[in-house]
Amino acid sequence: MNYPRHRLIASFFIALVLAGFSAVVTQQMYAQPEALACPRNQTITLRGDQAPPFQGLIVLFADLPVGGGVSDAAGRWQIPLRVNEPPGIYPVEVRLRDNQQLLARMVCYVDVPLPATVVPSPTKIPSPTPTSVPRPTTALPTVPPATRTTTPTGQVTATPQLTITATTTVQTTRTPQSTFTPTPTSGGVPGVKPTPIPAGISVTLEIVAYDPDTSNSLNDEYVTLLSNEENDLTIGGWRIINISRPERPTFVFPNYVLSPETEIHLYTGSGINNLDLGDFYWGRSAPVWQRGDIAQLFDAQGRLVSSYQVP
């Protein structure tokens, strides 16, 4: 059976448009970035394992380069990030330095409560309704850049549009929405991300770990707390936790008032607490900290105050 030439051309363009449209539908599902607690003036560590071996990496915070690192032989990477921005919600990306390939995307909550639940609501593109015309015309797809708006409520909106003119004209709109419901969580519970203190209390953590080559006592290992506040802090019931150990070693402070711009020390070994000097003793029989361990400080309500990674 012989078909007119113009019908063959129209069928070809319809098949081409529908194949491209199917590929767009496949990629239109919404992926929620990982939410990170980023206390101000504290260092956190970004981690991943999908990079090519021994490649230079760059970190973009709110689309500005703020640091970088190098992946290891297995493609794993760890990059420290210290945030000094005002409280808010900021996008963070990790990319290859040479070709800007995206490796990871996160959302940094700077002194803002982390979402307890994230409920993405993806909207798939509806099936097009093709309309045949006697002489099809074609135009290249026009894809304007997506517009992203980030607000303090943590809602991200992306609205790309795709217009194709052939025997079929298709207009697609995708508006994913995420609803964040912050709920206070218990600090130190495995699998539960802590909620930073909304008031942005600033307490600096530093750790001197036990060195078997030079240390003579477990009390050569200690944690320093420095209050950066202008007012007294009552830290009774506050906890320091080594979240990197399976047993999660934990110390709970007794009733104590931490004065502004004052340092106190928590020693790993045995001793008698001296409240006048601000010296506290954990009473452990073995070192608590190793290189790379992460310490987190929680208040009495289980909210994250500060974190620190042993260098």
| Alpha carbons 290 and 210: distance in angstroms, whole number | 8
For residues 153 and 168, membership in a common domain is answered with yes
Residue 236, pLDDT score: 94
Q: For residues 28-50, give the mean pLDDT.
A: 79
Is residue 212 located within the same domain as residue 289?
yes
Task: Considering only residues 214 and 196, tell me which one the structure prediction assigns the higher pLDDT.
Answer: 214
**pLDDT exceeds cutoff 50 at 184:** no
Q: What is the rounded CA–CA span in Å between residue 7 and residue 229?
A: 77
Does 106 lie in the same domain as 210?
A: no
Residues 267-299 pLDDT 10s? 999 999 999 999 999 999 999 999 999 999 999
CA angle 121, 190, 290 (to 5 degrees): 125
Q: Are residues 43 and 154 in the same domain?
A: no
Judge if 170 and 129 occupy the same domain.
yes
Residue 198 neighbours by CB under 8 Å, 6+ apart: 111, 112, 113
Lookup: tokens for 80: 């420290």
219 and 296 share one domain: yes
186 occurs within a structural domain: no
Residue (of 212, 222, 220, 197) closest to 308 by Cα position: 222
Counting Cβ atoms within 10 Å, is residue 255 exposed (0-12), middle (13-18) or buried (19+)?
Answer: exposed
Report yes or no: 30 and 120 within 8 Å, Cβ to Cβ: yes
Structural domain contains residue 85 = yes
Look at the alpha carbons of 286, 292, 293, 297 in this order and tell me if their dihedral is positive or negative: positive
Is 26 a domain residue? yes
Q: How confident is the model at residue 154 (pLDDT cuts 50, 70, 90)?
A: very low
Q: Which residues are CB-neighbours of 161 under 8 A, at least 6 positions away?
A: 143, 144, 171, 172, 173
For the chain, the domain total comes to 3
Instruction: Rounding to the nearest 10 degrees, give the CA dihedral for residues 92, 93, 97, 99.
Output: -140
Looking at the structure, do residues 52 and 173 belong to the same domain, yes or no? Answer: no
- 3-state percent helix, strand, coil for the chain, nearest multiple of 5: 10, 35, 55
Does 196 reside within a domain? no
User: Which one, of 109, 127, 78, lies nearest residue 293 by Cα?
Assistant: 78
Examine residue 197 and state whether it is found in any structural domain, yes or no: no
Taking the whole predicted model, whether its pTM rises above 0.85 is answered as no
When pLDDT is cut at 50, 70 and 90, the band that residue 107 belongs to is confident
Phi, psi of 55 (to 5 degrees): -115, 140
> What does the block give as tokens for 136?
């099809």
Residue 70 pLDDT:
87
Q: What is the Cα–Cα distance from 307 to 309, expressed in whole angstroms?
A: 7
Cβ 72 vs Cβ 58: under 8 Å: no
Q: What is the mean pLDDT of the chain?
A: 75
163 shares a domain with 18: yes
Q: Are residues 13 and 161 in the same domain?
A: yes
Least confident of 132-141, 223-232, 237-246: 132-141
Provide the residue type at 166 as one letter. A
Q: Are residues 272 and 289 in the same domain?
A: yes
Domain CATH for 241: 2.60.40.1260
Confidence of residue 81 (pLDDT cuts 50, 70, 90): confident
Selected residue with higher pLDDT from 201 and 293: 293
Residues 175 and 261 in one domain: no
Q: In the numeric block, which tokens belong to residue 137? A: 């015309």
> What pLDDT is attached to residue 198?
45
Residue 167 three-state SS: coil
Same domain, 103 and 144: no
Under the banding of pLDDT at 50, 70 and 90, the label for residue 83 is confident
Name the nearest CA neighbour of 52 among 103, 94, 105. Answer: 103
Does pLDDT of 255 surpass 90?
yes
Percentage of residues of the chain with pLDDT beyond 90: 35
Residue 87 clears pLDDT 50, i.e. is over it: yes
Range of the domain at 61: 34-110
Q: Give the DSSP H or E segment for 241.
A: strand 239-242
SS3 24: helix
Is residue 185 situated within a structural domain?
A: no
Phi–psi pair at 22, nearest 5 degrees? -60, -40
